[in-house]
Amino acid sequence: MWPNRSGEFSGLLRGVVLVLLGTALLTLSAKVNLPLPYVPMTLQTLVVLMIGAAYGSQLGAATMIAYLLEGAMGFPVFAGPVGGLAPLMGPTAGYLFGFVAAAFVTGWFAERGWDRSIVRLFAAMALGHVIILAAGFAWVAFGVGLGAEKAWLVGIAPFIAGTLVKNALGAALLPAARLLADRRI
């Protein structure tokens, strides 16, 4: 009677499983952190951009939104054993909300084949990092009220080297993971 219903359900179930897997990976990546005065350095941006590239724009962004909702509901998904609204209104808020746009943009480029080349994937992920850092900078500078100079010193400068390393790691890992998945190893 409805020939596509089981296909739609299996697609929805696959999406839900991927979102839950993605939010679990984001939670784990938040726990690997180096505390800094305002914003901790974590592995989250690496995972955000890999999810965007692997899941595509819509599912990648949906995964980030689900992650933020889990945190807002009080689940301890953020850096440290933290959940609730405080991280979504404090110094980390800009970065966290930047995850949604960064995953979407990285996913959009991946959907256009940029995930099949390490150099182009590096560029797409670099743009994702710029989005996250710009959102974080803007929030720290103007939302928290530290001003542009202080926001640069505490919200951008400490992250530049780590961002380049995570960007290169993500651009190398995703194609390698796809190669292994294609070989079913």
Cut 0.85: pTM above it: yes
Residue extents of the structural domains in the chain: 13-180
What fold is seen in the domain 13-180?
A: Arp2/3 complex 21 kDa subunit ARPC3 (1.10.1760)
Mean pLDDT for 13-38 is 92
Residues 105/45, Cβ–Cβ less than 8 Å: no
Average pLDDT, the chain: 91
Is residue 63 classed exposed, middle or buried when 0-12, 13-18 and 19+ CB atoms within 10 A define those classes? buried
Which residue, among 31, 139, 38, has the nearest Cα to 89 in the 3D structure?
A: 139
Residues 6+ apart with CB under 8 A from 125: 49, 53, 106, 167, 170, 171
- What does each C-alpha distance from 3 to 7, 9, 72, 105 come to in angstroms? 8, 11, 38, 34
Going by C-beta distance under 8 Å and a sequence separation of 6 or more, which residues neighbour residue 8? none
d(CA 64, CA 131): 14
Query: Which pLDDT belongs to residue 100?
Result: 98
Query: Percentage of the chain surpassing pLDDT 90?
Result: 79
Residue 78 pairs in a beta bridge with 82
What is the share, in percent, of the chain residues with pLDDT greater than 70? Answer: 94
Q: Are 109 and 102 in contact (CB under 8 A)?
A: no
How far apart CA 155 and CA 77 sit, in angstroms, is 21
Q: Around Cβ 118, how many Cβ atoms within 10 Å? A: 16
